[in-house]
Amino acid sequence: MTAAVGSGWLALTSPNTVDDITEVWSLPVSRATLDVMRDAGLSLPRNDPRQYDDLAGEWWRPDGAFAMLHWLAQARAALVPPAPRPGALLVDLGCGAGLLAPHLVGKGYRHVGVDLTRSALIQAADHGVTVVNGDATAVPLADGCADVVAAGELLEHVPDWRAAVAQACRLLRPGGLLVLDTLNDTALSRLVAVRIAERLPTVPRGIHDPRLFVDDRELVAECARHGVDLRVRGVRPAVPGLLRWLLRRARGIETPSGQVPRIVPTASAAVLYQGHGVRDG
């Protein structure tokens, strides 16, 4: 396995097999800009990936800043069937700290996670994920290597989401499965996910840039261009579980392991939606 430097990232030049990969980290990146902003009392721009370094201690707190990502990971994993063959590969784009990993136990996949944030990948590796520090729009893995590609809460953070979709579809073998969830590009989604959500104490301000939200019809069309027949459905947290979670939080009671609110289908995909589809061929 060889490596090349480009735009500050370490990338594979000949990623022929996933067996060649152990850990691929980025080269050191200057934090001078971030330090200057902090010294001046300024906040980061919306959707700035450096926020995830600041929030590194929140990933595995079920009541922390990434609480809903735990709920969505559980729902996303429910779309993934048992591995179709020994050694089947699941590529987890935007894997963060590996929140999908516990929900894949027993399904028989090799789990490779790709993310930009090294502090998150260190935690993902601790949870059994083979990690690759890289960009979802230029994934250093071979065409058709994956039986499943997961892209959870990723596309709404990618300035060129179409490039990320192209990569996800490229990685799939014929008959492979794409599973994802993201925020819709609607006025209601911007109201709920930004204006309302960011008033809650657990949601980091500026974590989303509403200009990057992804229209579900455009996403379906883009997947079709790359040979994946994507079906989408709206989802939301189940109200009883959400109310119990909010009540426990208000009382300072930690959420017991495995008792996070369920994500359930809803009639409208106007805010949050799941997608799943199979690559043709």
Q: Across residues 98-122, what is the average pLDDT?
A: 98
Burial 70-83 (b: 16+ CB within 10 A, else e): bbbbbbbbebbeeb
More confident residue, 87 or 64: 87
Question: What is the percent of the chain where pLDDT is above 70?
Answer: 84
Confidence of residue 108 (pLDDT cuts 50, 70, 90): very high
Winning range, highest mean pLDDT, from 27-36, 46-55, 233-242, 270-279: 270-279
Structural domain for 52, as ranges: 3-12+21-279
Residue 216 CA to residue 181 CA, distance in Å, equals 10
Q: Looking at the 3D structure of the chain, how many domains does it have?
A: 1
Q: What pLDDT, in 10s, does the model give residues 170-212?
A: 999 999 999 999 999 999 999 999 999 888 777 888 999 999 9
Q: What is the mean pLDDT of the chain?
A: 86
DSSP per-residue letters across the chain = --EEEETTEEEES----GGG-SEE-PPP---HHHHHHHHTTPPPPTT-TTHHHHTGGGTT-TTSTTHHHHHHHHHHHTTPPSPSSTT-EEEEET-TTTTTHHHHTTS--EEEEEES-HHHHHHHHHTT-EEEE--TTS--S-TT-EEEEEEET-GGG-TTHHHHHHHHHHHEEEEEEEEEEEE-SSHHHHIIIIIIGGGSTTSPTTS--GGG---HHHHHHHHHHTTEEEEEEEEEE-HHHHHHHHHHHHTTPPPPTT-PPPEEEES--SSEEEEEEEE--
Q: Is the pLDDT of residue 136 over 80?
A: yes
Residue range 47-82, pLDDT digits in tens: 888 899 999 999 999 888 999 999 999 999 999 999
Is the predicted pLDDT of residue 145 greater than 80, yes or no?
A: yes
Write the CATH number for 246.
3.40.50.150
Please check the confidence at residue 39 and state whether its pLDDT lies above 80.
no
Tokens representing 11 are 């990338």
- 4-26 average pLDDT score: 36
